[in-house]
Amino acid sequence: MISKRRFVAGAAAATVVPLLSKGGKAAQEEGADFTLRAEQVDLQLSEQGPSTALLRYSGAGALPVIRIRKGAAAAFRIRNDLTEPTSLQWHGLRGIGALDEPTDIPSDSIAPGEDRTARVLPLDPGTAWFHPDPSASNQTARGLRGLLIVEESEPPAVDQDLVALFGDHNLSAGHSLEFGSRGLSNTVATIVTTNGWPSPETVTSALGARLRVRLVNGSTQRVMVVACEGARPVIVAIDGQPSDLFAPVRGVVPIAPGARFDVMLDMPATTDAAVRFVLKGTEAIQGRVEPERPLLVIRTAGPAKAPKPPIAPLDPNPALPREIPLEAAKRVDLVIEGAARSSEDPSVIWTINGIDGRTASKPVLSVRRGDAVTLGFVNKSAMTIPLRFHGLVLRLLHAKDDGWEPYWRDTLLLPPNSSNHAAFLADRPGRWPMTSGFDDLTLAGLRCWIEVKPA
């Protein structure tokens, strides 16, 4: 049995990794090789609580954080030490498609006792993450997650580069856990975590330090509305791509499953001040309403840092177009609906343009490399629908398609009974899936793919 204290003592630097920390996976220039062993571990998550069986990529603490440089080829050897098949799916690497085929049984499925090697050559700097395919969604929810950070050639001048991957962890039934300082006993089977441990994660920072904090929603079922308290955050990147600088409204960021927000902030210049990232609102879990709770707490300590110039934007990605010729764009609307299978079977199937994605044999759109594309999204359901795009990034369009938002996205949130539009330039041939950020919806038919043919 491994207690949280013992586990963290040997791997704390791998859970919230400072820039180029020697405690995590250091940045590699070329030819980097990494081994990820999927295994079950018995962890004691509270001092007096029982142990529970969670899943981990071993050898890197509760959360592997792997850092490489743009253009640095990396090989990932995935060893499956579980008793069931697993897989590896990237989210946030533009151009990666071979591991993301829209099939019931992923082509990269790894049987127990076997291993597979995946090779990656990142096209862009940014924040990405990896996890099993949605068909193994429960493995993700039990802790099988990791971060891949592709660093800029000239990273911005910050004193710390922190990661905070939030998730829902499924625990053994009947597990009892104390929720931080609130002292709320919870006997449900799902908890909210930060970097693989029950929230909050607490770290220290110098007085007046400038921080880059990479916020990632690794949940399979939850849109996380996260507020920053105690500092004024500025968003510098969304879904791995640099954005125009802007402050989130009221300091609150709605993060869809799979989405990533990079923020920069300056810590207070007083000792023992705290900056907190807090999960807002309430969530019903098995009939119990959870309170708002801190996810990440950063406290000041030690000497003060010198005053900094104003936060500057990250360099834009030169590989992405400055403009998209919307007047010449190929256009298709994607109508999303959910309906009960039958009066005898109330479970819901999801369709796109009337087609159940589990049986779809054709792409929803086929274009040539270099084509501009406009996608219309019509959510006819009464729930918020998160969507993920694999290998592509899009611009959200204004209501009249007369402009776009100053950032790129590979995750979208569709409000209930609403319509939205987004555009992209088809720059890489391949079959690029679109799935739901809620894995159960993906498995129930909410998935399709876009085909980009060579020019």
- Taking the mean position of all CA atoms in its chain, how far away is CA 131? 10
Kindly give, in sequence order, each residue whose CB lies less than 8 Å from that of residue 5, ignoring residues fewer than 6 positions away: 47
* Average pLDDT of the residues in 281-306: 79
Model confidence at 381: pLDDT above 60: yes
Cis peptide before 233 (omega within 30 of 0): no
pTM for the model: 0.87
* Closest listed residue to residue 224, CA positions, set 257, 247, 248, 249: 257
Annotated domain spans of the chain: 2-304, 326-453
8 phi, psi to nearest 5 deg: -70, -35
- What mean pLDDT value characterizes the chain? 82
185: buried, middle or exposed (CB in 10 Å: 19+, 13-18, 0-12)? exposed
d(CA 441, CA 420): 19
Model confidence at 221: pLDDT above 90: no
Q: What band does 407 get if pLDDT is binned at 50, 70 and 90? A: very high
Model confidence at 377: pLDDT above 50: yes
pLDDT digits (tens, 9 = 90+) for 310-360: 999 999 999 999 999 999 999 999 999 998 877 777 788 999 999 999 999
Which of 5-9, 141-145, 266-270, 436-440 is least confident? 5-9
What percent of the chain shows pLDDT beyond 90? 55
The answer to whether 246 and 302 are in contact (CB under 8 A) is no
What percent of the chain shows pLDDT beyond 70? 80
pLDDT digits (tens, 9 = 90+) for 39-54: 998 776 666 666 777 8
* Average pLDDT of the residues in 60-66: 77
The answer to whether 418 and 385 are in contact (CB under 8 A) is no
Q: What band does 378 get if pLDDT is binned at 50, 70 and 90? A: very high
CATH code of 326-453, in short, is 2.60.40.420
Q: What band does 197 get if pLDDT is binned at 50, 70 and 90? A: confident
Looking at domain 2-304, what is its CATH homologous superfamily? Cupredoxins -  blue copper proteins (2.60.40.420)
Q: What band does 401 get if pLDDT is binned at 50, 70 and 90? A: low
pLDDT of residue 18: 29
Which of 33-42, 67-76, 219-228, 261-270 is least confident? 67-76
Kindly give, in sequence order, each residue whose CB lies less than 8 Å from that of residue 283, ignoring residues fewer than 6 positions away: 222, 289, 290
- Alpha carbon distance, N-terminus to C-terminus of the chain: 56
- What single letter denotes the amino acid at residue 351? T
Kindly give, in sequence order, each residue whose CB lies less than 8 Å from that of residue 386, ignoring residues fewer than 6 positions away: 223, 256, 257, 258, 259, 411, 412, 413, 414, 436, 437, 438
pLDDT of residue 283: 58
* Closest listed residue to residue 203, CA positions, set 159, 137, 170: 159
Which of 183-192, 210-219, 248-257 is least confident? 183-192
Model confidence at 104: pLDDT above 60: no
d(CA 445, CA 168): 23
Rg for the chain, CA atoms, rounded: 21
pLDDT of residue 196: 85
Model confidence at 19: pLDDT above 60: no
* Average pLDDT of the residues in 98-111: 54
Q: What band does 255 get if pLDDT is binned at 50, 70 and 90? A: very high
pLDDT of residue 423: 96
